[in-house]
């Protein structure tokens, strides 16, 4: 029951990872609800192989609204 032990922040991160893989585009959450973890913003960036999203790079910030246009462009 690892999923239940890690809590809501983990569940939200999994949803963002799944969405980034499915849609093949970055998913930005600038008001991340995992306050207990200290993270305030999160972003999931798909990694492609042969044109297909095959993995996701998850990046967190301790400040709400951290992922702006420049940060997203850099991480894409």
CATH of domain 2-75: 3.30.450.40
Dig out the tokens for 29 from the structure.
């959450």
pTM greater than the 0.75 cutoff: yes
The answer to whether residues 16 and 7 touch, using CB atoms and an 8 Å cutoff, is no
pLDDT higher than threshold 50 for residue 59: yes
Structure token digits, residue 59: 């990046």
Q: Taking 90 as the threshold, does the pLDDT of residue 20 lie above it?
A: yes
pLDDT of res. 1: 36
Can you give the chain as a three-state secondary structure string?
A: CHHHHHCHHHHHHHHHHHHHHHHCCCEEECCCCCHHHCCCEEEEEEEEECCEEEEEEEEEECCCCCCCHHHHHHHC
């Amino acid at each position: 029951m690892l999923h239940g032990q890690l809590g809501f922040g983990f569940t939200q991160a999994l949803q963002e990872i799944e969405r980034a893989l499915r849609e093949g585009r970055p998913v930005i959450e600038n008001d991340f609800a995992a306050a207990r973890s200290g993270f305030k913003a999160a972003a999931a960036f798909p990694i492609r192989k042969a044109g297909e999203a095959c993995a996701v790079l998850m990046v967190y910030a301790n400040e709400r609204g951290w992922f702006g246009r420049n940060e997203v462009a850099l991480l894409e």
